[in-house]
Structures are given as structure tokens and as C-alpha cells.
């Protein structure tokens, strides 16, 4: 595989695998979204995600990664990312973020979405809408020759214009044979420049947006990231191929590219 400043440039065969891995991830997210309702324990989504990995004949991407104990990250309300599926029941008015990863033929797919549980507050609706909008603002900059840090600058501008904050502690990433490859894709503009994007790179762009402070705490389980002020957070993620032309979103389900809130 060709390399550029530590980032892998994928060939056509590798890109096909990544398309398939990410198609499966998006299909699983569709199924999870369809199952969202008040009264469901979040553990049910883990079971469904596991089931679907078998059906699609893919390996779960997160299970065992740095010791992560589930196939799915399921983060409710003030949980930002890496929430554990559990006996906790979804309640009307909650928002729930699903982050799913799989491995198909040696390549990772990775994507995330936040869903409303029944009727949600205006604040909750707004944070989901802005987070999704910021993802697409970032994707717009995922172009050959652009500095990778321009993605985060666009995400941050979109989020802060709406009065919300971007999390600094976690970042997006290159993705391929490993879930986390170079380059890092922050959701803010770092002080120094990043690398120019090249056709054939795949990046997972994943704005994590908070209602109040961008500071997070990690719970006793050593995984679950929650907002320090315990206000709401949302998370949207696509894996995106840099091409000679338009950015190609890989995490597209059989339903086609769905924009939920914007």
C-alpha cells in the first residue's frame, strides 16, 4: 500500500472493501435507528448489532479494541462517546448516539449517528441538527490538496456559530486496515497545519458536540465519556474517501445517504 506522510493511500481493490465495510455499518445503524423507542434497554441494541454482524458475515470492529467490551458504543444524553450498552431503559426525550465499527476482508468501516427517543426538547433537536450539519461542513473540505485541519476548522465554525462546543479530547482519524490511521482529524483548528489530503485517503470525520462545556470526564468504567457539566452531547460520523473530485461518503446504507436533521 502506498504511503504519504504516514497516511495510507488506498487502491481500487482496497477502496471496494472499505465501501462494503462502511455500507454494512450504515445498514446496521439504520436497523438500530428503527429500533429506537422509549422503554428499550440499550443492551438490546448491542444484541441487534452483534446479530447483524453475523448476518453480514463481518467482524465487529470495536469488540476487544483496547479492551472495549462491546460491539457497539451507545451513549445517552450527557454521554459523549464510548457509552456501554446496559440495562438502562431509553426514555421519551432522551437522545442516543450509536457508534458502530466492523471489519470486512481486513478493512474497517466506522460511522455514528444520534437519534431522538420520541419527542425531544428544542435543545436536544438543535444539538443533533447542528452536529449533523457540522459533519457535512467538514466533509465539504475533505478534498485533495486541502489541509486536513481545514475539516475541523469548518466543523468548529459551524458548531460555535450555533452556540455549541466541540470536544477536544477525541478526534476523527484516518481509517483502513487499522481503525485509527494517520492523519488525526480534529473537530477544531489546531495551532499548526496538518498534512495536505491526497486522493485515496479515507478519513473518519466525527464531530462530538456539546451543549455547554467541551470538557469531558471519563466514568469509573474507564470508557464512558460524559460532559463535565452533564449537559447534552451528540455525535455524527462518516468515513469519507478523498478523490480527485467530490468527497465520497463511504458509510452509505442501502437506503441511500440519509440526512436526518439538516
Residue 153 in the binding site for Co ion (CB under 5 A): no
Please tell me what DSSP assigns to residue 127.
H
15 binds, among ligand MF3, Co ion, none (CB under 5 to 8 A by kind): none
Q: What is the dihedral of CA 53, 236, 252, 94, to 10 degrees?
A: 70
Piece in contact with ligand MF3 (CB under 6 A), picked from 6-14, 38-46, 64-72, 121-129: 64-72
Of these, 17, 48, 73, 117, which contacts ligand MF3 (CB under 6 A)?
73
Please classify residue 3 by burial: count the beta carbons closer than 10 Å to its beta carbon, then call 0-12 exposed, 13-18 middle and 19+ buried.
Answer: exposed
Q: Which does 66 bind (CB under 5 to 8 A by kind): ligand MF3, Co ion, none?
A: ligand MF3
Site string for Co ion, 164-203 (x = CB under 5 A): ----------------------------------------
Q: At its nearest, how many Å lie between ligand MF3 and the CB of residue 14?
A: 19
Of 70, 57, 68, 63, nearest to 27 (Cα)? 57
Residue with cell 489530503: 197
Burial environment of residue 222 by CB neighbours within 10 A (0 to 12, 13 to 18, 19 or more):
exposed
CA angle, corner 67, sides to 85 and 169, nearest 5?
80
Residue 84 touches ligand MF3, criterion: CB under 6 A: no
- Given the rule CB under 6 A, which residues bind ligand MF3? 62, 65-66, 68, 73, 82, 99, 101, 110, 112, 173, 179, 204, 206, 237
Footprint on this chain of Co ion (rule: CB under 5 A): 110, 204, 206
Amino acid at each position: 500500500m502506498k504511503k504519504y506522510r504516514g497516511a495510507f493511500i488506498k487502491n481500487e481493490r482496497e477502496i471496494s472493501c472499505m465501501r462494503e465495510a462502511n455500507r454494512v455499518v450504515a445498514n446496521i445503524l439504520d436497523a438500530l435507528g428503527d429500533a429506537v423507542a422509549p422503554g428499550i434497554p440499550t443492551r438490546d441494541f448491542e444484541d441487534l448489532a452483534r446479530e447483524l454482524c453475523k448476518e453480514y458475515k463481518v467482524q465487529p470492529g470495536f469488540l476487544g479494541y483496547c479492551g472495549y467490551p462491546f460491539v457497539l458504543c451507545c451513549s445517552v444524553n450527557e454521554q459523549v462517546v464510548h457509552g456501554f450498552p446496559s440495562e438502562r431503559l431509553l426514555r421519551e426525550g432522551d437522545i442516543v448516539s450509536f457508534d458502530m465499527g466492523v471489519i470486512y476482508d481486513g478493512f474497517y468501516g466506522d460511522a455514528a449517528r444520534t437519534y431522538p427517543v420520541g419527542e425531544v426538547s428544542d435543545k436536544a433537536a438543535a444539538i443533533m441538527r447542528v452536529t449533523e450539519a457540522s459533519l457535512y461542513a467538514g466533509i465539504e473540505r475533505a478534498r485533495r490538496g486541502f489541509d486536513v485541519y481545514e475539516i475541523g476548522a469548518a466543523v468548529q465554525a459551524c458548531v460555535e456559530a450555533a452556540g455549541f462546543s466541540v470536544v477536544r479530547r477525541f478526534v476523527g482519524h484516518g481509517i483502513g486496515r487499522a481503525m485509527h490511521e494517520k492523519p488525526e482529524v480534529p473537530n477544531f483548528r489546531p495551532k499548526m497545519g496538518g498534512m495536505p489530503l491526497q486522493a485515496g485517503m479515507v478519513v473518519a470525520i466525527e464531530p462530538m458536540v456539546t451543549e455547554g462545556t467541551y470538557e469531558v470526564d471519563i466514568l469509573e468504567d474507564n470508557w464512558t465519556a460524559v460532559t463535565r457539566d452533564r449537559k447534552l452531547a451528540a455525535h455524527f460520523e462518516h468515513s469519507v474517501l478523498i478523490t480527485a473530485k467530490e468527497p465520497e461518503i463511504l458509510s452509505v446504507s442501502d437506503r441511500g445517504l440519509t440526512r436526518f436533521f439538516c
